[in-house]
């Protein structure tokens, strides 16, 4: 007999995986993921040993689901990092466009400020 906490953990993991694979709007995906991760964090405290052999086999399945979830979360994180990087570059380019002489010194000397 598998404990309810373990079954609930598997259910939440499957729900998180489904949300991350859904391709919905990113804001709603992030909100749902944060809520479910918080609920899982609360549930984690109630899952304690000793475990029966049946629960150990179930736990191995949970570990496989966790690895898939971790990969999906890493992919989402990479997408967000890329978007932030592009936004930062766009901001720098916009600043150089609106103030093209902002990088020069007033005394006429030129300093190479490559980034």
Structure tokens of 75? Answer: 């992919």
Q: Which residue has the higher pLDDT, 17 or 94?
A: 17
Give the tens place of pLDDT for each residue, 51-78. 899 999 999 999 999 999 999 999 999 9
Q: Are 92 and 98 in contact (CB under 8 A)?
A: no
**Domain residues of the chain, as ranges?**
1-48
Q: Are 43 and 51 in contact (CB under 8 A)?
A: no
How many other C-beta atoms are found inside a 10 Å radius of the C-beta of residue 59? Answer: 16
Name the residue among 44, 51, 61 with its Cα closest to residue 8. 44
Whole-prediction pTM: 0.74
């Amino acid at each position: 007999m598998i404990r309810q906490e373990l079954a609930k953990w598997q259910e939440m993991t499957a729900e998180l995986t489904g949300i991350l694979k859904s391709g919905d709007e990113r804001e709603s995906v992030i909100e749902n993921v944060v809520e479910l991760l918080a609920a899982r964090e609360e549930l984690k405290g109630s899952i304690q040993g000793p475990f029966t052999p049946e629960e150990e086999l179930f736990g191995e399945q949970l570990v496989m689901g966790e690895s898939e979830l971790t990969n999906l979360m890493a992919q989402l994180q990479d997408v967000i990092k890329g978007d932030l990087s592009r936004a930062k570059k766009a901001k720098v380019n916009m600043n150089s466009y609106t103030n093209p002489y902002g990088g020069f010194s007033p005394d006429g000397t030129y300093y190479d400020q490559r980034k």
